[in-house]
Amino acid sequence: MRESPEDQFLKDLNSNIGIVHRVCKVYVKDAGEREDLYQEIIYQLWKSYPGFNGNSKFSTWMYKVAMNTAINHIRKSSKAVQQEPLPEHLPEKPCISEAVQLEEKTRLLYDVINRLSPIDKAIILLYLDDNSYDQIASVTGFTKTNVSVRLVRIKKQLEKELKPVFKNNL
């Protein structure tokens, strides 16, 4: 039996729902505001789905809708972005369990990404989610060459802040 468009949408959405969560985490720090953005993105995806013609991958289409909604949301948001100073490096406490260290590392990574410009956030998120340069260019509107130029700049910025944490691998 053929699936209804609603079932198909839910199936596609659920297999890529992580994109929505990551976009929310990268663009909004406040938990309450993040929930608002999450709901807004889901709503925009639901509303735009009839226009999805399958010419691109569902995930690429989803990144476009989610990121446009997020950028629009932070533009309208009255709350100014609070820039908190980052710790020099992650405290190395042997008593801290591996899970806590992992959580702390993830939080620190999101904190650093949170401090980038909205466009740089989009590029680094797409890169970390293992999208090709072609896909990053398609979502952002940069040329493929400029994606790599921009990534070099972001890389320098991230390395400066995260090298002490990530230099010895995971």
Partner 1 sequence: MDTLDNIKQFWLLNNQQDTDNNNLNKESMKRIIEPQIKKEQRYIKEYFWAFAFWQILVYAVLTHFIVRYWGDWQFIFCCVTGVLMFIPYSITFHKSLSCWHRPANAPDAPLRNIHGDLKAQIKQVSIYFQFKKRFDLVGIPVICGVLAVIMMKVTPVPHTFLGGLITFGIVFFAFARTTHVQNKNNFELPLARLRLLLSDIEDLNEE
Given a contact cutoff of 8 angstroms between Cβ atoms, the answer to whether 41 and 66 are in contact is yes
Token pair listed for 170: 């995971």
The structure tokens listed for 67 are 């990121």
Q: Residues 12, 109, 111, 115: which binds partner 1 (CB under 8 A)?
A: 109
User: Which CB sits closer to partner 1, 21 or 30?
Assistant: 21
Site string for partner 1, 16-55 (x = CB under 8 A): xxx--xx----------------xx-xxx-xxxxxxx---
| Binding of residue 116 to partner 1 (CB under 8 A) | no
Amino acid type, 64: K
- First-to-last C-alpha distance (Å) of the chain: 46
* Inter-residue contact 74 to 27 (CB < 8 Å): yes
The closest alpha carbon to 111, from 85, 93, 91, 92, belongs to 85
Q: How many CB atoms lie within 10 A of CB 166?
A: 15
Q: If binding is defined by CB under 8 A, does position 132 make contact with partner 1?
A: no
Q: Does 118 bind partner 1 (CB under 8 A)?
A: yes
By CB under 8 A, name the one of 28, 58, 61, 73 that touches partner 1.
61
Where on the chain is the footprint of partner 1 (CB under 8 A)? 6, 10, 13-18, 21-22, 39-40, 42-44, 46-52, 61, 64-65, 67-69, 71-72, 75-76, 102, 105-106, 109, 117-120, 122, 127-130, 138-143, 146, 149-151, 155, 158-159, 162-163, 166-167, 169-170
